[in-house]
Amino acid sequence: MTDLRRQLTDANTAVFADLGLPVEYARVTASDRPDLADFQSNGAMAVAKIARQPPREIAVGIREKLTGHPLLASIDIAGVGFINFRVSDTALTNRVQQIADDARAGAGEVKAARRVLIDYGGPNVAKPMHVGHLRSSIIGEAIKRIYRFRGDVVIGDAHFGDWGFQMGLLIVAATDENKDLADVVTFIDKGGDIATAAKAIDKLIDLDLLERLYPVAAAKAKEDTDYRDRARKATADLQSGREAYRALWRQFVIVSRVALEREFHALNVDFDLWKGESDANDLLRDMAEELADKKLLIADQGAQIVRVARDDDKRELPPLIVVSSEGSAMYGATDLATIVDRRKTFDPELLLYCVDQRQADHFEQVFRAAYLAGYAAEGTCEHIGFGTMNGPDGKPFKTREGGVLKLHDLIEMTNAKARERVKEAGLGAELEPEAFEDIARKVAVAALKFADLQNYRGTSYIFDLDRFTSFEGKTGPYLLYQAVRVKSVLRRAAEEGHADGPIQIREPAERDLGLILDGFDAALMEAYDKKAPNFIAEHAHKLAQGFSKFYAACPIIGAPDPDTRASRLALAAAALKQLEIAFDLLGIEAPDRM
């Protein structure tokens, strides 16, 4: 199953070979001028120098050889030697029929599946999420789905931040405030039964407590050195295995995770694994020994480091600190040990880290250390960085109170706006409250995610809920609305007893829609290669627009004759199928009606 663009590239390649031209320039792409052509080749210009011939002459030669090709209705030469192709209605009809008959709507698969691990989300116990976590979750989820759809074996891991200083802070804050908790700690310290203690802890620690304690404790630690030292000490005790602290910690982790999982799920973000930074803890000692054996670990001012700088670096990359001078394991060490763990358990052939661009150096250090130590093959670890979601002031988005956003609040805020918008658009009026709520939720998720995913991930963008939730323009709600329109046409046709039939591409709007459908695989491959879901978002938007124009120009149920109606119904169904696949890849969902 090959798209037209590749079929044309193949044909053009054969001609280039025939003419003794370098075939790597034979690539055919979608036309920059859809008003003039469907596809184009710029190869004649590219090879003119090598062939020592004017490009136009070369183009004429190519045209001659391609004339009469069954895919083509016409070949024109424009300007200095652009070759413009227009495919025949028959070729397009065949291709669109193929897409209509295909469960994957024309999308290809990888030749050899790889094991791919995607590290994304990266929320932390008790610490509120910031926009970096939000974007990581949205983008990472889409990349996971895109990789899986192309046929790879993919695992998504939340890499839960459950092991840092914030754990010590929480331990100190919680036991200071609550005498009962302090008593439980003493009870365990004196050898009391863990299961009994755990039951008490379960009653004493809930999410509200963590959310209340953490910000206060974090602020206090900034000013109060004694407090900070106690929290550090508690962190170290926890990490070296003090049972009582482990027991508190387990509850912190469970409570946070349950809440986070629910909120992520509301955004259609679901992780396969919730491994934590803590899972790397037991591997650290062996890893340090191994690094020492390999002569990679160097003592430096009381710390243990791995030098990762290379001679050709443009600026100096600091070493990876494996053990700090205070003896605690560092973020970099944890990530390196996590690679060891992943290798043992899943042995990924590709490791993608979807994390804020600001952590680029950290990952470069970890990856280089992993390559040096032989924990991963050179080039198999990749940092998928992204820009920030900004407030109107151009700085990373904060709530009105100036705090970092809580995922929960963001979702609530977006849901409220979505409800307003749906009502305003005169939609959902005759629906039951439950069905209405479901629609508002879907609109909210689509609004938030599409606003993010339509940008190339490296680009920062401004948070603007009014614009994101509008049913007009390049927005998630617009896309959902178009999908719902197709669904309602198909439903009505079925009610009136009209079946679909063989597709026949004739009208310009049918041709345009057909060409868009044909472009899905190219968009998918680009998104896959570049780890950039915006190519899918772009395609979905084009497809929604293409359908809308087709629907305006070509009556479906009111088509002039039964065959045309059957063809248009099949075309609409194909568009819907592809659109829904694209939605799924982006992690959004269309309701059945609005």
The residue within the footprint of ligand ARG, chosen from 43, 106, 122, 168 (CB under 6 A), is 122
> Contact, 476 vs 447, CB < 8 A?
yes
Nearest approach in angstroms of CB 163 to ligand ARG is 10
* Choice between 86 and 342, CB closer to ligand ARG: 342
Give the closest residue to 168 by CA, choosing from 255, 228, 253: 228
User: Is the separation of the CB atoms in 492 and 592 below 8 Å?
Assistant: no
Min separation Cβ 124 and ligand ARG, Å: 5
Q: By CB under 6 A, which span of 61-69, 119-127, 294-302, 553-561 interacts with ligand ARG?
A: 119-127
Binding window for ligand ARG (CB under 6 A); candidates: 116-124, 284-292, 438-446, 500-508 = 116-124
Cα 315 from Cα 463, distance rounded (Å): 33
- CA atoms 411, 593, 271, 198: torsion sign: positive
Q: How far is the CB of 309 from ligand ARG (least distance, A)?
A: 21
In DSSP terms, 82 is beta-bridged to 78
- Closest contact distance (angstroms) between CB of 497 and ligand ARG is 55
Q: Going by DSSP bridges, is the β-strand pair 153-157/461-462 parallel, antiparallel, or unpaired?
A: unpaired
Please tell me the count of residues contacting ligand ARG according to CB under 6 A: 8
Hey, is 316 helix, strand or coil?
A: coil
Using CB under 6 A, which residues numbered 160 to 199 contact ligand ARG?
Answer: 161
Strand intervals (E) in 229-341: 297-300, 303-306, 320-323
**By C-beta, is 124 or 304 nearer to ligand ARG?**
124
**Matching residue, tokens 């062939």:** 51
Shortest distance (Å) from residue 410 CB to ligand ARG: 17
- Is the CB of 161 or the CB of 476 nearer to ligand ARG? 161
By beta-carbon proximity to ligand ARG, the closer residue of 335 and 500 is 335
Applying CB under 6 A, which part among 67-75, 118-126, 141-149, 266-274 lies near ligand ARG?
118-126
Of 124, 166, 268, 470, the one binding ligand ARG (CB under 6 A) is 124
Mask for 310-329, x = binds ligand ARG (CB under 6 A):
--------------------
Sequence-ordered list of residues with C-beta below 8 angstroms from that of 167, at least 6 positions apart, any chain: 125, 234, 235, 238, 249, 252
Shortest Cβ 152–ligand ARG spacing (Å):
20
For residues 538-552, b (16+ Cβ closer than 10 Å) or e, as one string? bbbbbbbbbbbebbe
Please classify residue 274 by burial: count the beta carbons closer than 10 Å to its beta carbon, then call 0-12 exposed, 13-18 middle and 19+ buried. Answer: middle
Q: CB under 8 Å to 519, separation ≥6 — which residues?
A: 3, 5, 30, 539, 542
* Residue 326 Cβ vs ligand ARG, minimum distance, rounded to whole Å: 21
> How many whole angstroms separate alpha carbon 312 and alpha carbon 334?
27
In the bound state with ligand ARG, the residue whose beta carbon lies nearer, of 151 and 215, is 215
Among 25, 147, 271, 353, binds ligand ARG (CB under 6 A): 353
| H/E element, 197 | helix 194-204
Residue pair 153/377 in contact by the 8 Å Cβ criterion: no
User: Is residue 340 helix, strand or coil?
Assistant: helix
Residue where the block lists tokens 């968009």: 523
Would you count residue 500 as binding ligand ARG (CB under 6 A)? no
Nearer to ligand ARG, 188 or 355 (CB): 355
Report how far residue 286's alpha carbon sits from residue 263's, in angstroms, rounded to the nearest whole number: 36
Q: Pick from 141, 335, 518, 580 the residue near ligand ARG by CB under 6 A.
A: 335
Describe the strand order of the beta sheet including 350-354 as a list of residue ranges: 153-157, 115-119, 350-354, 381-384
Encoded tokens for 153: 């074996």
The nearest distance, CB 252 to ligand ARG, in angstroms, is 15
End-to-end, the C-alpha distance of the chain in Å comes to 35
Tell the smallest beta-carbon distance from residue 412 to ligand ARG (Å): 22
- Which is closer to ligand ARG, CB of 138 or CB of 355? 355
Task: State which H helix or E strand residue 86 sits in.
Answer: strand 82-87
Looking at the Cβ atoms of 124 and 504, the one nearer to ligand ARG is 124
Residues 119, 263, 512, 521: which binds ligand ARG (CB under 6 A)?
119
Between residues 81 and 123, which has the closer beta carbon with respect to ligand ARG? 123
Identity of the residue, 124 or 469, whose beta carbon is nearer to ligand ARG in the bound complex:
124
For residue 104, count CB atoms less than 10 angstroms from its CB and return exposed for 0-12, middle for 13-18, buried for 19 or more.
middle
Q: Is 355 in the site for ligand ARG (CB under 6 A)?
A: yes
Closest to ligand ARG by CB, 86 vs 159, is 159
Q: Is 41 strand, coil or helix?
A: strand
CB 346 within 8 A of CB 288: no
Pick the binder of ligand ARG from 159, 230, 368, 568 (CB under 6 A). 159
**Subset of 16-75 contacting ligand ARG (CB under 6 A):** none
Of 197 and 283, the one with the shorter C-beta distance to ligand ARG is 283
Placement of tokens 């959310």 in the chain: 211
Candidate ranges 13-21, 117-125, 289-297, 408-416; the one touching ligand ARG (CB under 6 A): 117-125
Q: Scanning residues 374 to 403, which ones bind ligand ARG (CB under 6 A)?
A: none
Name the residue number minimizing CB distance to ligand ARG: 122
- Between 79 and 458, whose beta carbon lies closer to ligand ARG? 458
Both tokens of 413, joined, read 């805020």
Q: C-beta of 514: minimal distance to ligand ARG in Å?
A: 43
Residue 281: partners with Cβ closer than 8 Å, 6 or more residues away? 163, 239, 329, 334, 337
Nearer to ligand ARG, 366 or 493 (CB): 366
Q: Shortest gap between Cβ of 161 and ligand ARG (angstroms)?
A: 3
Residue 545 Ramachandran class (φ > 0 left, ψ -120 to 50 alpha, else beta): alpha
**Contact call for residue 9 and ligand ARG (CB under 6 A):** no
Q: Which residues of this protein are in contact with ligand ARG, per CB under 6 A?
A: 119, 122, 124, 159, 161, 335, 353, 355
